[in-house]
Chains A and B, each alone.
Chain A
């Protein structure tokens, strides 16, 4: 499948943190041609491996999380409106007049209503609406809503992916399904290049709630090396200079205490030698990615971070450049091959 199609396919799946089953199934199907084995664990992670066949081969772990941000129904009011809490960080200012999909069986459509201007004081018009005052309208009476929408029902943003020009994709859930797609493409690439080490894929759960899935996933795999693949902030007109990368300028290679200096240097060298478009992302402390927990798994893991620049992260209109994803695929596939060569020596 083409990378673009793969991203469209994966982003379309509704799978917020803690409710990743649908993403698990689809990612399993897509990965299976390129791996030897797929299993899961108590956290619902997808753990796949492509073995090189050598005994005591070193292990490289590629991680991307399958969960997306979402909402969860906490209460139903007397008129049938649903109160909700967020799953992961959502800017409440994006919620009024927002369409959502409730993951009931079958799914239900919902709309987060907005408080009309006449119901507000003039000075409140410039203020955002507190998320606690928002609710999902499912067009049902309280009785019917209680029947069809059990408390604890999750929801995701509605809307499908769309191309902006030739290279850009706008969608919900690019964070981090785009990187799940990247891992599938890396594994496809590696199936012909056969690196001399075992390559594990950890398609992890509950990242948005605090990197929870990767904790047990990395523990289970016990890797020697790991690459966390996640999204990073791309510059927008309203962001400050210095706190963002640039979309369209390639893979963002993480440098800082969360990353092994050796692996960061290897990635920077590969990018330079192969002319792969890349940019350096210096991060002083927590990278906010699964790399943070993987690095300190068991007795420690040499960890690298490759990030895809994305605008409007955690919104229904996250935007990316496919060329950046292609750069990451090339970069990490080459890293796997080189790590294999070093260890085979």
Chain B
């Protein structure tokens, strides 16, 4: 799963431009699935038979998109203006490398030299509309040779392990869920399952909405990642969850009050099987669960998430032992559902 995740994190797929990720996943899962559908927004929905057909229809969900930028303008002197795709804290993009469009034109989000910054300026963060991407073009015409309005940009994509079992990459949110679903698809399943690799989660859980309408799940399992703020300057009550403390099973976030029954089932299964887990200690964030739970006649919904530091940034960090249990814990839940 770790190698799959690394490969997935390299791929470019900001919200609305998930093609590269979808193509890769499709290639990986094709040999194992019975039904493949893509819809008008680009969701990839596949089904696989398990040992039994469960009493309730099960859907697993992970989103393919990552946060990024979209080019909104080109200045006369060749600098690109942009907006964010998804929620990006603009403090993490200053002086960062980006790659624009399918051809991966390298650029940087510039900021003038520190020597030219006065004391007051230093205390504030440049407004998004004042930020720009420098691709080394000397004029608008030169920039237009390689970049078009509406092109997307992704952050620096270096992926590596560091420290004692940590992974650094962009887009861990939510390629980790995608990697776990690929792993599940490759193995034998206890019951029939439908897997939705969704688009546009980061701009408001858009893809999951229509995927749910197509699948009509009765049980929805969202495989996700969630903010960990276990950092020195963050007060204890605001850490949400911690790296190294296990996989996260939330009871509630800003979008969803998760199924209490499934929450209990998952956490008990984890305990029984010696899987380290934690819950979120603060009501924050949201996932595709919010729309899956309330689509059609509704679905019993739970999330299983990897804790991630610097989550919507070019340098997200996850602990491998936390997330690598995601497929096995999900499998235990599927076993339980298959016996209902």
Contact = CB atoms under 8 A, between A and B. Distances in A.
Interface in A121-148: 125-129, 133, 135, 137-141, 144
A135 B309 CA distance: 13
Contacts of A89: 114-115
Contacts of A97: 92, 96, 310, 313-315
Given A93-B122, A118-B227, A243 B75 contact: no
B164 A81 contact: no
Contacts of A91: 95, 111, 114, 117, 122
A94 B111 CA distance: 9
Between B165, B240, B282, B315, the greatest number of chain A beta carbons within 10 A of the residue's beta carbon is seen for: B315
B229 A119 contact: yes
A313 B97 contact: no
Nearest to B142: A165
Given A113-B310, A119-B229, A319-B108, A233 B113 contact: yes
Contact of A93 (B94, B138, B162, B238): B94
Contacts of A115: 229, 231, 233-234
Interface in B31-46: none
A288 B115 CA distance: 10
B107 interface: yes
Contacts, number: 192
Given A129-B91, A313-B114, A237 B132 contact: yes
Contact of A99 (B79, B158, B166, B238): B158
Given A91-B114, A118-B240, A170-B108, A127 B124 contact: yes
Contact of B95 (A167, A239, A243, A317): A317
Interface in A303-320: 311-317, 319
B163 A128 contact: no
Interface of B is mostly: loop
A244 B168 CA distance: 37
Interface string B143-168: 00000000000001010101111101
Contacts of B227: 116, 118
B300 interface: no
A168 B78 CA distance: 14
Nearest to A138: B163
Interface in B96-149: 96-97, 106-108, 110-117, 122-126, 130, 132, 134-138
B92 A312 contact: no
B77 interface: yes
B274 interface: no
A165 B145 CA distance: 11
Interface residues of A, number: 63
B311 interface: yes
B187 interface: no
B89 interface: yes
Contacts of A140: 163-164
Given A111-B317, A312-B113, A99 B125 contact: no
Interface size class on chain B is 35 or more
B284 interface: yes
Interface in B292-318: 309-311, 313-315, 317
A125 B89 CA distance: 8
Contacts of B116: 233, 239-240, 243-244
Nearest to A169: B136
B113 A248 contact: no
A219 interface: no
A319 B310 CA distance: 26
Contact of A94 (B95, B130, B284): B95
A191 interface: no
A109 interface: yes
A201 to B, nearest CB: 26
B24 to A, nearest CB: 24
B94 to A, nearest CB: 5
B111 A159 contact: no
Contacts of B315: 97-99, 111
Interface string A226-245: 00000001001111100110
A93 B125 contact: yes
Interface in B263-288: 282, 284
Contacts of A238: 110-112, 126, 130, 132
A154 B314 CA distance: 23
10 nearest A-B residue pairs (beta carbon): A139-B163, A164-B136, A139-B166, A313-B113, A97-B313, A91-B114, A94-B95, A168-B136, A109-B162, A97-B92
Given A81-B231, A128-B123, A238-B110, 18 more contacts: A91-B122, A99-B315, A111-B315, A113-B317, A114-B91, A127-B124, A139-B166, A159-B158, A164-B134, A238-B112, A312-B95, A312-B113, A313-B115, A315-B111, A316-B95, A317-B97, A317-B108, A319-B110
19 contacts: A77-B232, A93-B94, A93-B122, A94-B111, A113-B317, A116-B227, A118-B227, A118-B238, A126-B124, A128-B125, A138-B162, A138-B163, A165-B137, A233-B115, A236-B110, A244-B116, A312-B108, A313-B115, A317-B108
